[in-house]
Amino acid sequence: MMNLNLLSLENKKRIKTLKTYYILKNVSFLIVSILLIITTVLSFSFMLLKNFSNTIDGQINNEIDLQRKESIVSIEEATKQLNNQLKRISTIQQDYVKWSDVLNEVARAVPPGITLNVLSVDKTSKRFSLSGIARDRLTLRSFEDQLNLLPELTEATAPLSSLAQRENILFEITGTLSDEIYQ
């Protein structure tokens, strides 16, 4: 078999040029199509990333706001707790009585011949009670008078039945605590 080419040289060049044109056209079309697809994918990806970024930014801002509110709440809570503790401390300090000073004054008021067995204090009713043994009536009366002279104690009285005996008298003196103790 033999190939015969019956085309003129000009036609051959034109066909070759057309062939090159079609190849270039197809390659250009392919490149433009690929670029269009890539551009579309990248644009869609950009929109998704931007939307995702905005969503994350919103979540971050919400979290920051929440943390600020929580820190404010925790600061307010800490302040409330501190204020409550300060109120309790203030109440304790207001109710504090330096009993050692009161006991020291009572001990100084005890004359010789008096033996104390029990000292009881009821802070809520502001009452006190002293019991013990007195050598004689005169010593017991002297002790009662000494207690009434103390600024911390008022209305210290021994029952008359205690004064009926002459010697070795079992006594119980009761009275009221003055408001001066609580200041």
Distance CA 130, CA 146 (A): 13
CB atoms within 10 A of CB 167: 11
pLDDT digits (tens, 9 = 90+) for 55-104: 888 888 888 888 777 776 677 787 888 889 889 888 877 777 777 788 88
Question: Which band of pLDDT confidence, cut at 50, 70 and 90, is reported for residue 182?
Answer: low
CB 149 within 8 A of CB 156: no
CB 182 within 8 A of CB 156: no
Distance CA 56, CA 53 (A): 5
Cα angle, residue 68 at apex, residues 54 and 51 outer, rounded to 5°: 5
Q: Using alpha carbons only, how large is the chain's radius of gyration in Å?
A: 54
Domain extents in the chain: 12-96, 99-182
Query: How are beta strands 127-136 and 114-122 bridged, if at all?
Result: antiparallel
Q: What CATH code would you report for 99-182?
A: 3.30.1360.100
pLDDT digits (tens, 9 = 90+) for 126-171: 888 889 998 888 888 888 888 888 888 888 888 777 767 788 888 8
Distance CA 140, CA 174 (A): 13
